[in-house]
Amino acid sequence: MATTTSAVPPLATLNTPNSATTMDEKLSGNFLTLENPVFCCFLFWASVLVIKMLLMSLLTALQRFRNKVFPNKEDLFFKDIEVQFDDPHVERVRRAHRNDMENILPYFTMAILYICTNPDPTVACILFRVVAIARILHTLVYAFYPVPQPSRVIAFGVAFAITIYMACAVALDVLKHI
């Protein structure tokens, strides 16, 4: 009987591994879940940035219709116009859109990888919010209402620097796996 009674308690504790664990242990190496507040924060702001980025296409289309500038023959929705390029209003929006692709898309990948390295939650959430706001401001001062420099350079630089920081933090974290 003695062996049986001594064997049961450790089994019982092993059977309830989540009873007194920290967040880290609860996630158990899986950071891309809704249980991870850092990931939830990223989910929200990444969704905002995806919507913002896609709306650039509509803004380009709006400028094309407003200025009647279309790049394809099948797009000539009005009579007596020809395919045309290099309209300054359209090209400005397209440059802003391209800048989004150059910066937001690598940021998306980098941020997901950064979350998987279990960063400090407070720092990570602040970075996600700052990047999203900086990129929204970048669009406003570039594509919507051109504002004198250095407003655009600053908005660009903030998101740029944060992405570089994430990349360096991740690379240093896994340096031995080169």
Scan residues 12-41 and list those touching its own copies (CB under 8 A): 12, 14-16, 29-35, 37, 39-41
Site for its own copies in 39-98 (CB under 8 A): 39-41, 43-44, 46-48, 50-51, 53-54, 56-57, 71-75, 77, 85-86, 91-92, 95, 97
Residue 160 in the binding site for its own copies (CB under 8 A): yes
- Nearest CA to 108 out of 45, 30, 32 is that of 45
Least distance to its own copies, CB of residue 40, Å: 4
Least distance to its own copies, CB of residue 56, Å: 8
Using CB under 8 A, pick the residue from 2, 5, 78, 79 that binds its own copies: 5
Residue 71 has what DSSP assignment?
A: S
Provide DSSP, 74-114.
Answer: GG--STT-------HHHHHHHHHHHHHHHHHHHHHHHHHHH
Determine how many CB atoms are found less than 10 A away from the CB of residue 67: 13
Chain centre distance of CA 22? 27
Binding mask 118-157 for its own copies (x = CB under 8 A): x---------------------------xxxx--x---x-
* Integer Cα distance of 128 and 99 in angstroms: 18
Least distance to its own copies, CB of residue 109, Å: 4
